[in-house]
Amino acid sequence: MNTRLHTEERSAAELPAALAQDIAARLQAAIEARGKAVLVVSGGKSPIALFEALRVLPIAWHQVTISLADERCVPNTHADSNALLVRTHLLKDQAQTAHLVPMIADDLPLSTVSTLATHATASLLALGNADVLVLGMGTDGHTASLFPDAPNLPLAIDLMQSPACVGIELKHPPANAPYARITQNLSMLLSARHIVLPISGSDKLSVLARAKAAASLALPVSKLLHQDRTSVTLWLSP
């Protein structure tokens, strides 16, 4: 078990605002220490309430760069793009002056996932370590786009690998997002200075309990929980 694993519990109504305050404080501390801050977030629908709570907080957003833990291989203007999600729900209000570095550059033609992953690796490594990484978890135990049925999952979670983005092509992708993806590998995710993982609802909390019990390829998020490299705070609500 990760000896740097911590837990915060809030009601579903309280969690987004409380977590937003925590993230904002960490970003502001990074700005004061290093003159800049890097925030890396996940996509999907789950973080929207968090984004909307975070974007109104008055920190030095013009010194914050935002990027992504994973992305669907679609144009940044596509409705299912995680970059578009960030632009729509986070880069508003106080946070409109933050700088977004998408994993797929706006002017980059969509090509093979390996080529997209190579470009994303260069872009994210140039940012330096994330000060805060916001992850999520699916009911199948995936986090970022590290899915249990990904053919290259063993390599993607191998901590002997250098930090990099990798392509993920699933034989049976989620019906609501049937795209190839690029994702940070586990080494790159763990290069963050602090990781937060908000989880709500009994179904996901049950999956989390199994992931905390033992590390398993069947639940990729368990590899995040059973490591000692990086501090992880679970933000939980029933």
Looking at CATH, the fold of the domain delimited by 5-237 is given as Rossmann fold (3.40.50)
How does pLDDT run along the chain (238 residues), one tens digit per residue? 566 899 999 999 999 999 999 999 999 999 999 999 999 999 988 899 999 999 999 999 999 999 999 999 998 889 999 999 999 999 999 999 999 999 998 766 677 899 999 999 999 999 999 999 999 999 999 999 999 999 999 999 999 999 999 999 998 888 888 899 999 999 999 999 999 999 999 999 999 999 999 999 999 999 999 999 999 999 999 8
- β pairing state of 132-134 and 99-100: unpaired
Count the neighbouring beta carbons within 10 Å of the beta carbon of residue 181. 28
- Identify the sign of the CA torsion 43, 169, 148, 202: positive
C-alpha to C-alpha distance for 103 and 182, rounded to whole angstroms? 8
Residue-wise pLDDT tens digits, 104-151: 987 666 778 999 999 999 999 999 999 999 999 999 999 999 999 999
pLDDT at position 205 is 97
Between CA 217 and CA 225, with CA 220 as vertex, the angle to 5 degrees is 115
pLDDT at position 193 is 97
pLDDT at position 3 is 60
Q: For the residues of 41-103, what is the DSSP string, one character each? A: E--SSTTHHHHHHHTTS-S-GGGEEEEESEEESS-TTSTT-HHHHHHHHTSSGGGGGSEE--S
pLDDT at position 112 is 86
pLDDT at position 1 is 56
Domain boundaries, the chain: 5-237
pLDDT at position 109 is 66
pLDDT at position 23 is 98
pLDDT at position 111 is 74
Which residues does residue 7 pair with via DSSP β-bridges, in sequence order? 234
